[in-house]
Chains A and B, each alone.
Chain A
Amino acid sequence: MTEILILVLLILISIIAAIYAVLTKKTINAVIASGVISLMASIIFLLVAAPDVAMTEATIGAGLTTVVFLYALKHVKGGEDD
């Protein structure tokens, strides 16, 4: 029962982060929010007994993708949404 509650909490956090990533004006906040979604997804994968996928999601989704987006943001030197 507590496991289902934790799962629902994690899913709620990722849904809120997704909506925030779409609605926010600052691109950097959207990048961080998408990193949060990946982190929540990796915890969910860990809870449903898929540690291999959880590892991939945490390293690639939450780590590397966020960094690549931040570098791309630095290169385009924008910041405001179109």
Chain B
Amino acid sequence: MIKYLLIAIAIVGMGWMLYPLVADFQTATELNALATEYVNGSMNDLNVPNVVTAVVVTYRGLDTLGEVTVLFLATAGIGFLLRRKGHPTGKRRPGSEILKIGSAFLAPLIVLLGVYIFTHGHLTPGGGFQGGVVIASGMLLLTMAHIDFKFSHTLIHWAESLSGFTYVLIGLLGLLLLGVNSFLDPRFLAGGKWLSLFSAGAVPVIYSFIGLKVGSELSSVIDSLQDGGNEV
């Protein structure tokens, strides 16, 4: 009884806490000062049509670097906890005929879509993180369909480390070429033509490396979860 009373009090308190947000809400009719600065800067300064990408990669680039680091640590933790013990994995049911044929058709297209999403991150919605997760879901489909599907761990680890290293290196390159206060500034490459693939300075390069890093990390997470952690 007292348990349900406490739960009810918690729910009412939560509602009381959040009610002012709803009551005072009004739709903004114009951008505030910071948003105006971002929109103008990404159009005139950086040549990035997708303002979200401009904010994520450039104006809040340090946050993105932190996010990538968090993801790296999470992957390392999963790999450490679920490391293989040398035992052969238990018997798995092979994928059905439908799954096998469907994955043979779909997996290359899914990986291609992921690559498209992160290389066009500065033009269309999406970017490194989304593209990386799409690539990892393609790998998941292959892992589910074929029991003996294995990708090279050396390759995955090298792709992960190299792309993370290159991301930091590009950030330092901005610092080196453009002077102080310009860590992760992508403007050391040419701005290029508005709306073309090779434009917006180093933004597509940075997002491609983030995409590779996220894709390889999440693929290795799926791989560890698939056949690690037995016989603990």
Q: Residues of A at under 8 Å CB distance from B?
A: 51-52, 54-56, 59-60, 63-64, 67-68, 71-72, 75
Distance between Cα atoms of A5 and B48 in the complex (Å): 35
Contact residues of A: prevailing secondary structure:
helix
Distance between Cα atoms of A50 and B130 in the complex (Å): 14
Q: Does B140 contact A (CB under 8 A)?
A: yes
Distance between Cα atoms of A56 and B50 in the complex (Å): 16
Chain A residues whose CB sits within 8 angstroms of the CB of B53 once the complex forms: 52
Chain B residues whose CB sits within 8 angstroms of the CB of A56 once the complex forms: 129-130, 133
**Chain B residue with minimal CB distance to A67?**
B140
Distance between Cα atoms of A60 and B71 in the complex (Å): 13
**A67:B130 contact, CB within 8 angstroms:** no
Distance between Cα atoms of A55 and B126 in the complex (Å): 7
| Pairs A-B, 8 closest by C-beta atoms | A51-B125, A71-B225, A59-B133, A55-B130, A52-B52, A52-B125, A55-B126, A63-B137
Chain A residues whose CB sits within 8 angstroms of the CB of B140 once the complex forms: 67
Chain B residues whose CB sits within 8 angstroms of the CB of A60 once the complex forms: 129, 133
Distance between Cα atoms of A64 and B141 in the complex (Å): 12
